[in-house]
């Protein structure tokens, strides 16, 4: 198992940079980005936009070429003033620059990188290469500036406090704040390292040189979600994880709220997501907590990749047993 590489805890006034790590910023979403910046400032951080985060700028489906995005990301990783990086959105670009990331800069000064969707690929690959704790959490524009704004004020306050504690606190957070959507799909309890992301990125990453060693899944709690496509695609991804041996090694599973997946609960008797998950798991005694806010449905609960968690599916609880950041007084890159 890797030695965790925890970023340094953030302090009030630290600089957080919003960057285009994958998809472009469309002009119509500029107001949402401004709302996201306001959320981060309300948490007590200084906020800066990276140069590639310019409304209307794009190259194909990306904010820029993979090399340009990597160059900007590496600059942020090397800049000691930058203490955290949050993706403006997901997209389809991270695969293009996985081999261009300055891993030495991460090892020398690990920083929280926040995001989900395509950004979950960054979390998985960097965890595999360095042990870096990945902050699978809301992106800026459709997340902090979108889903958060549509949530009730009380939920916004809970999330703001949770994210601030995650980034600045050096004690375990404990139980994440549940909502009525959570469901027990298979009862049981488990403790283990949290590993996951968008399920298609999990599967595709395992086909690259940045795949997590199979033994890293031993006793892990696997979390995943998916956006779009067909229900049969999700079933196939789960089957790939079964064939790869992942499902034989994990101790628990957390499933996000499905978003825009064709074929779920349709009139032609297609299965529910719960039915598909349990079908692929078979007789494996793995507790499953379903319909948790860990992806595109938002607003997101943070899932720090690599951190030990406790799952009790029947009691509908998921608890972070370790801090995601290290105290300011600790020297060296590790935690």
Per-residue confidence band for 333, with pLDDT thresholds at 50, 70 and 90: very low
> In 3D, which of 165, 149, 173, 187 has the Cα closest to residue 112?
165
Catalytic residues: 117, 225, 296
Q: Tokens standing for 155?
A: 């939920």
3-class secondary-structure state, position 214: helix
3-class secondary-structure state, position 34: helix
Per-position b or e across 51-67, b if 16+ CB within 10 A of its CB: ebbbeebbeeebbbebe
Architecture of domain 15-168: 3-Layer(aba) Sandwich (3.40)
pLDDT tens digits, one per residue of 283-306: 999 999 999 999 899 899 999 999
Structural domain spans, the chain = 15-168, 174-320
> In 3D, which of 283, 293, 284 has the Cα closest to residue 255?
293
The pLDDT assigned to 77 comes to: 98
The CATH number corresponding to 174-320 among 1.10.730.10, 3.30.930.10, 3.40.50.300, 3.50.30.60 equals 3.50.30.60
Contacts of 234 (CB under 8 A, 6+ apart): 199, 226, 258, 261, 273, 276
Kind plus residue range of the DSSP H or E element containing 115: strand 113-115
pLDDT tens digits, one per residue of 301-327: 999 999 999 999 999 999 999 999 999
CA angle 105, 322, 316 (to 5 degrees): 125
> In 3D, which of 295, 212, 216, 225 has the Cα closest to residue 253?
225
pLDDT tens digits, one per residue of 117-163: 999 999 999 999 999 999 999 999 999 999 999 999 999 999 999 99
Q: Give the pTM.
A: 0.95
CA distance 115 to 134: 9
Report how far apart the first and last C-alpha atoms of the chain are (Å, whole number). 14
Measured over the CA atoms of residue 213, residue 66, residue 198 and residue 36, the dihedral's sign is positive
The pLDDT assigned to 264 comes to: 84
pLDDT tens digits, one per residue of 35-91: 999 999 999 999 999 999 999 999 999 999 999 999 999 999 999 999 999 999 999
- DSSP secondary structure code for residue 323 in this structure: -
């Amino acid at each position: 198992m890797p030695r965790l590489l925890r970023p340094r805890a953030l302090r009030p006034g630290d600089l957080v940079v919003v960057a285009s790590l994958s998809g472009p910023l469309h002009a119509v979403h500029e107001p949402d980005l401004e709302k996201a910046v306001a959320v981060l400032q309300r948490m007590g951080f200084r906020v800066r936009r990276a140069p590639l985060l310019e409304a209307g700028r794009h190259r194909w489906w990306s904010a820029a070429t993979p090399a340009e995005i990597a160059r900007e990301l590496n600059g942020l990783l090397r800049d000691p003033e930058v203490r955290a990086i949050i993706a403006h959105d997901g997209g389809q670009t991270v695969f293009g620059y996985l081999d261009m990331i300055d891993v030495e800069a991460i090892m020398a000064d690990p920083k929280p990188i926040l995001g989900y969707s395509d950004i979950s690929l960054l979390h998985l690959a960097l965890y595999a290469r360095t042990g870096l704790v990945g902050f699978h959490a809301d992106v800026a524009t459709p997340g902090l500036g979108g889903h958060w704004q549509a949530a009730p004020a009380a939920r916004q306050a809970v999330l703001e406090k949770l994210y601030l504690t995650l980034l600045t606190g050096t004690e375990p957070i404990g139980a994440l704040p549940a909502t009525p959507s959570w469901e027990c799909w298979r009862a049981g309890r488990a403790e283990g390292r949290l590993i996951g992301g968008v399920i298609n990125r999990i599967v595709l990453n395992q086909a690259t040189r940045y795949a997590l060693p199979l033994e890293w899944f031993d006793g892990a709690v696997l979390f995943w979600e998916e956006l779009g496509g067909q229900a049969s695609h999700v079933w196939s991804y789960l089957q790939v994880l079964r064939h790869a041996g992942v499902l034989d090694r994990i101790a628990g599973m957390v499933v996000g709220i499905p978003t825009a997946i064709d074929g779920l609960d349709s009139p032609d008797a297609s299965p529910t997501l719960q039915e598909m998950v349990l079908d692929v798991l078979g007789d494996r005694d793995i507790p499953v907590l379903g319909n948790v806010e860990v992806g595109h449905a938002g607003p997101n609960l943070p899932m720090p990749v690599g951190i030990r968690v406790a799952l009790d599916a029947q009691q509908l609880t998921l608890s972070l047993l370790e801090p995601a950041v290290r105290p300011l007084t600790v020297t060296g890159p590790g935690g």
